[in-house]
Amino acid sequence: MAVDGPKLGDCLPGALNYIEVMKFRMFFSSLCLRVAFVGALAFNLAASGAEKSALDLIKEGNRYVGEQAKDKVVQIRSEKSVGTLDPNIWYVVYYDPTATLKAVEVKFGAGQMLTVKRPMRLLEPVTGGSQPLDREKLKVDSDEAIKTAMSEPLLKNIKVTATRLKLERAGDGVLGRPDAGEGIWRVRLWAAKLRNPSRDADIGEVWISAADGKVVKNDLHIDRVD
């Protein structure tokens, strides 16, 4: 008696199942790759847009100045912050012995270089403003200086709305000892007015040592928010 072999129809269901499984695996692999790509892109965009602190910008600024000026920072300053306590417009000034007025300035916006120019002003020779800060003694960054200023007891019951910072060489005696290249953060603060919170008032400065983070001087005038 002849025995019938397997027919094509008997094999189709298994073959179709195999094809469907392979299609699903290919779709799933493609989906995973797309998710990974989007995630990496989002991370890179977030990282590129992240705000850099003032001391981070020294290294960044070195890329735009000559070898003779790299790391020879004499001043870092910001513009008044907008909508946050952390400024995003910064100027890093380097000592450049080849410049007519001995300075080159790099301007940053949101961590990105905006302009490089040689300021049309003479750095202050009397106060030591033309002498580079000692990088080894710059331990306190801009975000830490803001936190220290905000912890002053006088600010407990008012709403601080903006800051403006300047880092420069301390004058002799400011720290109770010879300057020796140490820096001072001058943190200027603005606070919302009590009777008209939509407006703010300049309430003065807090001076903070860039070497140890201690408050050197409190020149706050909270009566200005009345």
48 pLDDT more than 60: no
Q: Give per-residue pLDDT as tens, 95-131.
A: 999 988 889 999 999 999 999 998 876 555 444 456 8
Is residue 193, in this structure, part of any structural domain at all? yes
CB atoms < 10 A from the CB of 47, how many?
A: 8
89 CB contacts (<8 Å, ≥6 apart)? 78, 79, 107, 108, 109
With a cut of 50, say whether residue 41 has pLDDT above it: no
pLDDT of 27 above 80: no
The answer to the question of residue 103 being in a domain is: yes
More confident residue, 77 or 170: 77
HSE, side-chain direction, 13 A CA sphere, residue 58: 21
The verdict on residue 129 lying in a domain is yes
Residue 46 lies in a domain: no
pLDDT above 50 for 184: yes
User: Is 10 part of a structural domain of the chain?
Assistant: no
Q: Which residue has the higher pLDDT, 170 or 205?
A: 205
**Higher per-residue pLDDT: 204 or 26:** 204
pLDDT tier, 73 (very low <50, low <70, confident <90, very high otherwise) = very high
Please compute the mean of the pLDDT values over residues 139-150 and round it to a whole number.
Answer: 97
Tell me how far CA of residue 73 lies from CA of 129, 134, 207, 212, in angstroms.
10, 8, 19, 19
pLDDT at 38: 39
Question: What is the rounded (10 degree) CA torsion for 112, 67, 78, 140?
Answer: 110
* Residue 66 forms part of a structural domain: yes
Structural domain boundaries, residue 68: 54-225
Rounded CA gap, 49 and 53, in Å? 12
Look at residue 16 and tell me whether its pLDDT is greater than 60. no
Instruction: Please give the distance of CA 60 from its chain centroid, rounded to a whole number.
Output: 11
The answer as to whether 154 is a domain residue is yes
Tokens standing for residue 44: 């890179």
Least confident interval from 17-26, 167-176, 183-192:
17-26
Which stretch, 24-38, 48-62, 102-116, 122-136, has highest mean pLDDT? 102-116
Query: How are the residues of the chain apportioned to helix, strand and coil, as percentages rounded to the nearest 5?
Result: 30, 25, 40
Q: Is residue 209 a contact partner of residue 178, using CB atoms and an 8 Å limit? A: no
Query: Number of structural domains, the chain?
Result: 1
Q: Is residue 40 part of a domain?
A: no
